[in-house]
Structure 1
Amino acid sequence: MNRREAVQRLFLLVGGVLSPPVIAGVMGQVLNTGESVMTTAGQEALIAEVADIIIPTTDTPGAKAAGAEKFIIRVMRDCYVKDDQDKFYAGLAKLDADSKAKFGKGFMDLSIPEKNEMVKLSMTNDKPFFLRMKELTTVGYFTSEIGATQALEYLPIPGRFDGSAPYKPGQKAWAI
């Protein structure tokens, strides 16, 4: 395998992990210079609740504490075209409407087990919305200060490179 082929395979591998708009969002770039959906405080709170079900508070703070919803809203606004934004926010509204239909109350008012059930239903009923929400939540969380320093191992000033450093049992993955 030559160098060019190796680089192409690497880009295919990385491209399958994160979508280009999310990578641009992490880099702080703006891809969408056209119209954007203006989010409401209610939508922002709903995004925070769904993100917190995806990455809940355990022995480390969850997605809501990390402010993942701010990342999600910014990346949707700056890196996705309006049509994709409309689909995302329609999926969010559908999740809330499905919660009202199933439990008689909106997603925000559900108990944790009910929220978990609704998110699991979203995985099958509205898979494109769920996959985008999950991708944005995980990237937003692990690129936040809380995610990088409390959920991952963080070394602000890296030492020497050791490509074969052993992990200790229970050690966190490294933040980059």
Structure 2
Amino acid sequence: MTIHSTKATEITNKSDEESRRRFLQKVLGLACVTTSGSMLSSCALKSADAFAKAESEPVNSKILFSEGQMTTLFAIGDSILPRTDTPSASEVNCHNFVQHQLLACHSKDEQNACIEVIDQIDKTSIAQLNQPFALLSKEQQQTLLTQLENQQGFNEHTRGQFSFLKALIIFGYFTSEVGATQALNYQAVPGGFKGSIPCDENTKSWGSIDYY
């Protein structure tokens, strides 16, 4: 009986993990962000859960980014996910999530890729506008990141690094309680099934706090 019960639990856990992975692939896909397999691995999902359960406080004492790099990352997150009718990336601690996730689940090469692109964004900001990225206006920050996306003054390698960093920021946002329940549609007690509902480009995707 114990063996059967353990197997049933393992099957249920595996099913829940696959559901979470499919959900996050959809969310990240809707955001037009390229994801890597490591980002949605078992380690990544469990690490994100641990971060959320710690109420967005860092769950280890290791440090990957310098204070200056963390300041730049803070500003990058808010440029990608600014405050609207929902909190910004920094308000749900995405900058600390990125550091936590990179240290917990990602390779040295992936860690270095994020460090390099953060440094490159700051260097370009200083070269073009004589100020660190964090001190630019919101409009200037968005313009610079748009240039990066369009490879204007940036190469394809840097653009790929930025896509990975952006995916981590978005992953952190939508695995937070705020992202799951405010940025996405959420019903604690859903009603009956509706096969067809009106939607447009402003309709939110569906999220479930149970995934986190």
AA matched with 2:69: Q
- Structure 1 residues 96 and 156 mapped into 2: Cα distance closer, same or farther (>3 Å)? same
Matched, 1:20 2:52: no
Do the aligned partners of residues 21 and 166 (structure 1) sit closer, same or farther apart at CA in structure 2, a change above 3 Å counting? same
TM-superposition CA deviations, 1:26-48 (whole Å, max 9, x none): 3328xxxxxx8722232222112
Q: CA deviation at 1:116?
A: 0.8
- Give the TM-score normalised by structure 1: 0.77
User: Residue in 1 aligned with 2:197?
Assistant: 166
Q: How many residue pairs align between the two structures?
A: 157
Contact 1:21/1:80 (<8 A) preserved: yes
> Is 1:122 paired with 2:139?
no
* SS of residue paired to 2:47: coil
CA contact (8 A) 1:66 1:146 kept: yes
Q: Does 1:85 align with 2:117?
A: no
Rounded Cα–Cα distance in structure 2 between residues aligned with 1:90 and 1:129:
8
The aligned counterpart of 2:79 is 53
Measure how far apart 1:151 and its partner are.
Answer: 0.9
Q: Any conservation in 1 of the 2:72–2:134 contact (CA below 8 Å)?
A: yes
Structure 1 CA distance for aligned equivalents of residues 94 and 63 of structure 2: 18
- Secondary structure, aligned partner of 1:89: helix
Whole-Å separation in 2 of the counterparts to 1:83 and 1:171:
37
Secondary structure, counterpart of 1:58 in structure 2: coil
Greater CA deviation, 114-123 or 92-101? 114-123
Write out per-residue CA displacement over residues 83-117 of structure 1, whole angstroms, 9 at most, x where no aligned residue.
22112201110100000000001001111111111
RMSD of aligned residue pairs (Cα, Å): 2.6
Give distance in 2, aligned partners of 1:104 and 1:117.
Answer: 15
Tell me the amino acid that sits aligned with residue 164 of structure 1: G
Alignment of 1:1-176 (within 5 A): 17=29, 18-24=35-41, 25-28=44-47, 38-123=64-149, 124=151, 125=154, 126-158=158-190, 162=193, 164-167=195-198, 171-176=203-208
Q: Secondary structure at the match of 2:65?
A: coil
Contact 2:94 2:172 in 1 (8 A): yes
Q: Taking every aligned residue pair, what percent have the same amino acid on both sides? A: 27
TM-score, normalised via structure 2 length: 0.65
Q: 2 CA distance for matches of 1:55 and 1:22?
A: 19
CA distance in 2, matches of 1:131, 1:112: 20
Aligned-residue offset at 1:71: 1.7
Distance 1:107 1:150, change over 3 A: same
Specify the code of the residue in structure 2 equivalent to 1:146.
V
Residue type at the aligned position of 2:46: M
CA contact (8 A) 1:152 1:173 kept: yes
Q: Is the contact made by 1:151 and 1:172 (CA closer than 8 Å) also made in structure 2?
A: yes
Equivalent-residue separation in structure 1 for 2:63 and 2:138 (angstroms): 29
Is the contact made by 1:21 and 1:75 (CA closer than 8 Å) also made in structure 2?
A: no
Q: Name the CA shift for 1:20/1:157 in 2 (closer, same or farther; >3 Å).
A: farther
